[in-house]
């Protein structure tokens, strides 16, 4: 990021857009409150509060950053789990030791502690080291195997983390192959490409794109960053593998099936 900023020095851009948690943190460390960069829009950031670029989602920005998150709001994700598996109380969450997961995990802890409807619910957190290499995702998924086996008899389901560990097919496949419990995936591909997830609730890239574009448009039309509140993602979809759901004895509510639309894996004639 320092190299990029050095190359672009003096170009006086009207606005800078940055996508992803790591890129946003890198920009923050280099040009937070820099008068040469008055308008920075982040998108697809799991926890911009934890990243230090905004204070919250209800106050005017105090820095030169505003934008849109990536992670499904915790309340939406937990309520989705409760709708599909109302008797579930124990959740296994294996995550990579990365900023986006650390922030999201704190939100999960706070939500469970402060909501009466979650009484008796517990999340078993297990971490694997972040591996920064070309084969890092595979190595992290390999590290997750011991945790999957250890948690299998302790939990009712597994929840994919909000980080790079869950963005590739290796981790969900491990959960399906090594455990006897269903997985709530991170994205649509975890279900529709049969990576191993039974169900998934996920932000839509189209929805995030539209939210981000509206913020960029307002800023380019003359609004100051402090006039444009950051936003949590508000467009999301759901997907279900009905073959796996049957294996786990899960009955999907009709309204959620309707919401899923074409994002459903249905049993074949012999299943």
pLDDT of 121 strictly over 90: yes
- The mean per-residue pLDDT over the stretch 94-98 comes to 92
Asked whether the beta carbons of 113 and 147 are under 8 A apart, the reply is no
pLDDT band at 271 (very low <50, low <70, confident <90, very high): low
pLDDT of 14 strictly over 80: yes
**What pLDDT does 16 receive?**
96
Asked whether the beta carbons of 169 and 192 are under 8 A apart, the reply is no
pLDDT of 109 strictly over 70: yes
To the question of pTM greater than 0.75 for the whole model, the response is: yes
- The mean per-residue pLDDT over the stretch 28-48 comes to 93
How far is residue 89's CA from residue 91's CA, in Å, rounded to a whole number? 7
Question: What Cα–Cα distance (Å) separates residue 118 from each residue in 43, 72, 86, 194?
Answer: 30, 18, 11, 30
Output 39 or 203, whichever has higher pLDDT: 39
Model pLDDT for residues 221-266, shown as the tens digit of each residue: 999 999 999 998 888 899 999 999 999 999 999 999 999 999 999 9
How far is residue 165's CA from residue 161's CA, in Å, rounded to a whole number? 7
Eight-state DSSP code of residue 164: G
pLDDT of 99 strictly over 80: no
pLDDT band at 100 (very low <50, low <70, confident <90, very high): confident
How far is residue 247's CA from residue 74's CA, in Å, rounded to a whole number? 27
- The mean per-residue pLDDT over the stretch 78-95 comes to 96
The Cβ-side half-sphere exposure at 205, using a 13 Å CA radius, reads 5
How far is residue 174's CA from residue 48's CA, in Å, rounded to a whole number? 30
Write down the H helix ranges in the chain: 2-8, 21-31, 48-51, 74-84, 99-114, 136-151, 170-178, 189-192, 205-220, 242-247, 254-260
Q: State percent of the chain over pLDDT 90.
A: 75
pLDDT of 269 strictly over 80: no
Average the pLDDT over each of 8-12, 89-93, 259-263 and give the range with the smallest value: 8-12
pLDDT band at 137 (very low <50, low <70, confident <90, very high): confident
- The mean per-residue pLDDT over the stretch 207-214 comes to 95
Output 22 or 155, whichever has higher pLDDT: 155
């Amino acid at each position: 990021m320092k190299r990029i900023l050095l190359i672009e020095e003096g170009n006086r851009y009207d606005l800078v857009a940055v996508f992803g948690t790591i890129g946003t943190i890198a920009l923050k460390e280099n040009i937070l409150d820099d008068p040469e960069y008055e308008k920075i829009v982040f998108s697809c950031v799991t926890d911009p509060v934890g990243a230090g670029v905004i204070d919250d989602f209800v106050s005017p920005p105090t820095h030169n950053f505003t934008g849109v998150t990536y992670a499904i709001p915790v309340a939406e994700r937990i309520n989705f789990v409760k709708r599909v598996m109302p008797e579930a109380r124990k959740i296994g969450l294996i995550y990579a030791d990365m900023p986006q997961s650390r922030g999201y995990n704190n939100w999960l802890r706070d939500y469970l502690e402060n909501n009466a409807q979650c009484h008796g619910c517990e999340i078993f957190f297990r971490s694997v080291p972040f591996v920064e290499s070309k084969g890092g995702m595979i190595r992290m998924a390999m590290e997750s195997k011991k945790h999957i086996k250890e948690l299998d008899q302790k939990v009712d389901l597994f929840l994919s983390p909000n980080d790079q560990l869950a963005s590739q097919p290796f981790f969900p496949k491990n959960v399906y192959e090594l455990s006897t419990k269903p997985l709530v995936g991170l994205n649509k591909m975890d279900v529709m490409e049969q990576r191993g997830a039974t169900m998934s609730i996920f932000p839509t890239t189209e929805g995030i794109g539209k939210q981000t574009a509206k913020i960029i448009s307002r800023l380019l039309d003359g609004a100051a960053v402090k006039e444009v509140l950051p936003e949590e993602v508000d467009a999301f979809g759901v997907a279900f593998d009905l073959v796996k759901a049957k294996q786990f004895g899960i009955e999907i509510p009709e309204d959620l099936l309707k919401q899923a639309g074409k994002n459903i894996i249905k049993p074949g004639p012999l299943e």
